[in-house]
Structure 1
Amino acid sequence: MPQKKQPGFAELLASTDRAAVHLELRDVYGDNPRFAAWRQGRRTDWDDRASWWHSFHEQIRQAVDRGVVIRRARVVSEPVSEYIRWEHYVTRANIEAGEQVRWLPRWRATDLLLPPNDFWVFDDRLARTHHFAGDGSHVADEFSSDPVLVKKLSSGFESVWERAIPHEKYEV
């Protein structure tokens, strides 16, 4: 039996009316050209928006302009990995697109019951869970509208968000 094609991020965000939340739990996500360039000492020219503004940022901006609140929380080990230092640096683009971003040191999350996987939750109705290999490469996404799972994921996100540090105050 053929599998139903799952919606892409742009489609999911376009169908979101109120809120989207994203929890990230890994210290490394596979290599990519932007991270490789940063590792080689190349930095973003923040004055040249065309060089760093991507379709993802535009999708976020359009959703925020429609009134969607987009929050991202990252649970990170300290001292942070090189990848997290880079993510912290490029998060400026997320902020400029309209996301709210916070960081929670892993040692401050010990008493929180969190899922083992990164996820997005859209309007408290749909969860998109990300599965990664040990090297940080993306393996697959899983979708669920099960209200029990969506509620658990949303609750996990909120517990992180409440104690996480706003991006502008978190130093790596």
Structure 2
Amino acid sequence: MLLDGEDWQRVLHGFSRSAFRLETLPAYKVAGEAEEIEEFLNGNRIDPDTYASGWTDRLKAHAASGRTVQRVHIVTRPLSDYLRYEFMYYEPHAKAGEDVRILDLTDRPNPGLPNQDFWIFDDSTVVLMNYEPDGTQIDRVLVEGETGQYREWRRLAVTESVSFADFVKEHGWQ
């Protein structure tokens, strides 16, 4: 089943305990970000201590209610311009309560994770995030049936990754 609009928002924000996102691409083409990316490349940065958005507000609310939001982004170095831009937002997201993690495959083989972005909510609802090679989103598809493989991929991704803060300490990102 395709998820869009209100149906997608209900799934994305309606979880009870946990939400996990696996990101596999070096760039995502998101409407409205081109100008921000250009500004970033020209040296403009957000202040991670004062930055606020609808997403950071939701993260704080989820954390306050005991719900967890976790993300693992698979990367290789050197980071793409888009990843460097996206990383600028990971610090305030982490401060707001998201467990942001990085799995760097630059000097190691993939430990068995798919080349497929997905969300898993409350261990039972999986949504595949499908993209064109350039990062343009095609659609979101609700997975029907067994979710055990996705739970295992989540476990593997979390186990094999490091916190965003540790990745930045080791490799930097700007």
The alignment's TM-score, normalised by the length of structure 1, stands at 0.84
Q: 1:43 aligns with which of 45, 56, 60?
A: 45
Counterparts of 2:55 and 2:48, CA distance in 1: 17
2:77 matches 1:75: no
Distance change in 2, residues 1:139/1:111 (3 Å) = closer
Gaps of 5+ in 2: none
Counterparts of 1:109 and 1:69, CA distance in 2: 29
Other-structure match for 1:142:
141
Instruction: Map Cα deviations across residues 2-49 of structure 1 (whole Å, 9 max, x no partner).
Output: x8866223x2244212111111111111151332321122111345x3
Give, as a single letter, the amino acid of the residue that structure 2 aligns with 1:87: E
Distance change in 2, residues 1:101/1:109 (3 Å) = farther
The Cα of 1:109 is off from its aligned counterpart by 5.9
2:164 matches 1:167: yes
- Structure number with greater CO (CA < 8 Å, separation at least 6) is 2
**Residues 115 and 153, structure 1, Cα contact 8 Å, conserved in 2:** no
The Cα of 1:131 is off from its aligned counterpart by 0.8
Distance change in 2, residues 1:74/1:4 (3 Å) = closer
Say what the alpha-carbon RMSD is for the aligned residues. 2.1
Counterparts of 1:59 and 1:81, CA distance in 2: 27
Aligned counterparts, 1:99-110, within 5 A: 99-107=98-106, 110=109
**Residues 3 and 140, structure 2, Cα contact 8 Å, conserved in 1:** no
Q: How many residues align?
A: 164
Other-structure match for 2:92:
93
Counterparts of 2:19 and 2:13, CA distance in 1: 11
Counterparts of 1:73 and 1:30, CA distance in 2: 19
Q: Report the 3-state secondary structure (helix = DSSP H, G, I; strand = E; otherwise coil) of the residue aligned with 1:72.
A: strand
The Cα of 1:142 is off from its aligned counterpart by 0.7
Gaps of 5+ in 1: none
Counterparts of 1:110 and 1:65, CA distance in 2: 37
Counterparts of 2:100 and 2:121, CA distance in 1: 16
Larger mean CA deviation between 68-77 and 26-35 belongs to 26-35
Other-structure match for 1:157:
154
The Cα of 1:107 is off from its aligned counterpart by 3.9
Counterparts of 2:47 and 2:62, CA distance in 1: 25
How many percent identity over aligned positions? 21
The Cα of 1:108 is off from its aligned counterpart by 5.9
